[in-house]
Structure 1
Amino acid sequence: MTNSSSVPVVLPTKGSALSTAMIRTEHLHLMREMYGLTPWTGYEPACKCPRWTVKPCRRTIRGLTCFTRRDWGVACDHPRRWQDADGNRVLTWEPYIGTDAALRSIESSAAIGEALASGVEVIVCTGSPYVTAVDRLHDTEAPVSDCAVVIFRGGAA
């Protein structure tokens, strides 16, 4: 690949520190732009449990591993912690699957049913900022991904 001046363009390799930083920067930008969410302290969660949005896991607050080793289903991929404009805790999962598959995965998970019973709201949308950021690493004009984003919203912090 070359640019207009015939100088070779070097793209970051998958998994390199540069590509990871570029994906994270674009991910943060898109999540704010598309869903109005900003990073929560501890952007990369130690606990994937949607109940974190209602009440934080005591073990992960202390930097320990969460005891909750539940089967969240295939929708539980790329979990991240956020907050909305009102200060509500938000957890997102961004799997490489469409919304129909994400909904089937969520509906079949007893653990997610328990989380919903504890007051967690779940929203499934088309348009994963994470998958879009990965796509745009190599094609800056890539459209918004049609992969799902699963949003869990709880109470105020």
Structure 2
Amino acid sequence: MTADNSTRYGKWMFVFAWLAALFLLSIWFDDLLGEQENPNQSPQSISSNNQIMVILQQNRHGHYVASGQINGQPVTFLLDTGATQVSIPAHLQQQLGLQAGYPGQVSTANGMIQVYSTRIDTLQLGDITLHDVSAHLNPAIGGEQILLGMSALKKLDFKQQNGSLILSQNQR
């Protein structure tokens, strides 16, 4: 190997090392940002006194975002006590095994929109499991987050304390 080839090889190795470092940093920052947006990616459950409790942490925006499941499929919930129903982006209907029912009108911050009623067979958040939850399919919601509204939350006890939301369900 000549000195010219060695120098060329060394330059390419240097470029490759920088690209690898940038790639690894981007993965690390992506995970870090994901945890800041959803600090409850694996909600922990506590069972005591015939209750199941799930403690959620606020994200950096002060919202409660948590990973869960609908009909066995992984989803991300945004807890919204101001929402009457669980509101699911309509494009997730088939993936979550939901049937569109009757159309209806709902009032949102952006005005009146048409949604379709549906029923969720099983909704899970940590070890909390709810059955036969009223919801609607909302074509106006983009993205993947599901608004976990009062049609689900009214079946639970909840309280906010020190930047945490404690959800509890009586065991049967």
Shared fold per TM-score greater than 0.5: no
Give the structure with the higher percent helix.
1
Provide the TM-score with structure 2 as the length reference: 0.28
